A = this chain, B = another copy of it.
Amino acid sequence: MLPLTSRSGERWRAVLAGVLVWLAIGAHARAEDGHALWLRYAEARPLDMEDTGIGLGEVTAPGATPTQRAARDELRRGLAGLLGSAPRFREGPGGAGGLVLGTPDSSPWIAPMRRELDGLGEEGFLLRETRVDGRKTLLVAARRDIGVLYGVFHLLRLMQTGVELDGLEVREVPQVKLRVLDHWDNLDGYVERGYAGRSLWDWHTLPDWRDPRYTDYARANASLGINGSVLNNVNAEALSLSHAYLRKAAALADVFRPYGIRVYLGARFSAPIELGGLATADPLDPGVQRWWRDKADEIYALIPDFGGFLVKANSEGQPGPQDYARTHAEGANLLADALAAHGGVVMWRAFVYAPDVAEDRARQAYDEFAGLDGALRDNVLVQVKNGPIDFQPREPFHPLFGAMPRTPLMMEFQVTKEYLGFATHLVYLGPLYEEALRSDTHAQGAGSTVAKVVDGSLDGHALSGIAGVANIGDDRTWSGSHFDQANWYAFGRLAWNPRQSARDIAADWVAMTFSPDPGVVAPIVDMMMGSREAAVDYMTPLGLHHLMARGHHYGPGPWVDGGPRADWTSVYYHRADARGIGFDRSTRGSDAVSQYAPEVARTFDDIEQVPEALLLWFHHVPWDHPMRSGRPLWDEMVHRYTRGVRYVDAMQATWETLRGRIDGPRHAHVAAFLAIQRAEAQWWRDASVAYFQSINGLPLPAGELPPPHPLAYYEALQFPHAPGDGR
Interface positions of A (Cβ within 8 A of B): 1, 3, 5-6, 8-9, 11-13, 15-31, 33, 36, 41-42, 44, 46, 77, 80-81, 84-86, 187-189, 197-198, 203-205, 208-210, 212, 239, 422, 424, 474-476, 665, 669, 672-673, 675-676, 679, 720-723
- Least CB distance, A225 to chain B, in whole angstroms: 24
Residues in B with CB closer than 8 Å to A672 are 205, 208-210
Q: When chains A and B are docked, how far (Å) is the Cα of A33 from the Cα of B30? A: 12
Task: Report whether B723 and A24 are in contact in the complex, using a CB–CB cutoff of 8 Å.
Answer: no
Do A24 and B84 contact each other (CB < 8 Å), given the known contacts A5-B9, A12-B9, A474-B474?
Answer: yes
Number of copies: 2
Closest to A422 in B: B204
Residues in B with CB closer than 8 Å to A26 are 22-23, 25-27, 29-30
Do A44 and B20 contact each other (CB < 8 Å), given the known contacts A672-B210, A723-B189?
Answer: no
Task: Report whether B721 and A81 are in contact in the complex, using a CB–CB cutoff of 8 Å.
Answer: no
- Least CB distance, A213 to chain B, in whole angstroms: 8
Task: Report whether B19 and A19 are in contact in the complex, using a CB–CB cutoff of 8 Å.
Answer: yes
Residues in B with CB closer than 8 Å to A476 are 476
Q: When chains A and B are docked, how far (Å) is the Cα of A19 from the Cα of B15? A: 11
- Least CB distance, A276 to chain B, in whole angstroms: 16
Q: When chains A and B are docked, how far (Å) is the Cα of A86 from the Cα of B25? A: 10
Q: List 29 A-B contacts (CB under 8 A).
A: A1-B3, A5-B5, A6-B9, A8-B9, A9-B12, A16-B16, A16-B19, A21-B46, A21-B84, A22-B23, A22-B27, A24-B86, A25-B26, A25-B30, A25-B42, A25-B80, A26-B27, A26-B29, A26-B30, A30-B30, A187-B720, A188-B721, A197-B197, A197-B474, A205-B424, A205-B672, A212-B665, A239-B720, A474-B474
Residues in B with CB closer than 8 Å to A85 are 20-21, 24
Residues in B with CB closer than 8 Å to A33 are 212
Residues in B with CB closer than 8 Å to A205 are 424, 672-673, 676
- Least CB distance, A447 to chain B, in whole angstroms: 45
Task: Report whether B209 and A669 are in contact in the complex, using a CB–CB cutoff of 8 Å.
Answer: yes
Do A81 and B25 contact each other (CB < 8 Å), given the known contacts A197-B197, A198-B197, A239-B720?
Answer: yes
Q: When chains A and B are docked, how far (Å) is the Cα of A284 from the Cα of B8? A: 84
Closest to A6 in B: B5
* Option from B16, B21, B198 in Cβ contact (under 8 Å) with A44: B21
Task: Report whether B204 and A722 are in contact in the complex, using a CB–CB cutoff of 8 Å.
Answer: yes
- Least CB distance, A412 to chain B, in whole angstroms: 26
Task: Report whether A204 and B25 are in contact in the complex, using a CB–CB cutoff of 8 Å.
Answer: no
Residues in B with CB closer than 8 Å to A474 are 197-198, 474-475
Task: Report whether B5 and A12 are in contact in the complex, using a CB–CB cutoff of 8 Å.
Answer: no
Known: A5-B9, A25-B81, A187-B720. 8 other contacts (CB 8 A): A5-B8, A6-B6, A18-B84, A25-B30, A25-B42, A29-B29, A209-B672, A239-B721
Residues in B with CB closer than 8 Å to A80 are 24-25, 28
Q: When chains A and B are docked, how far (Å) is the Cα of A31 from the Cα of B665? A: 18
Residues in B with CB closer than 8 Å to A422 are 204
Residues in B with CB closer than 8 Å to A197 are 197-198, 474
Q: When chains A and B are docked, how far (Å) is the Cα of A22 from the Cα of B722? A: 41
* Option from B203, B209, B424, B722 in Cβ contact (under 8 Å) with A676: B209
Closest to A1 in B: B6
Task: Report whether B77 and A28 are in contact in the complex, using a CB–CB cutoff of 8 Å.
Answer: yes
Closest to A46 in B: B21
Closest to A554 in B: B204
Residues in B with CB closer than 8 Å to A17 are 84
Task: Report whether B28 and A29 are in contact in the complex, using a CB–CB cutoff of 8 Å.
Answer: no
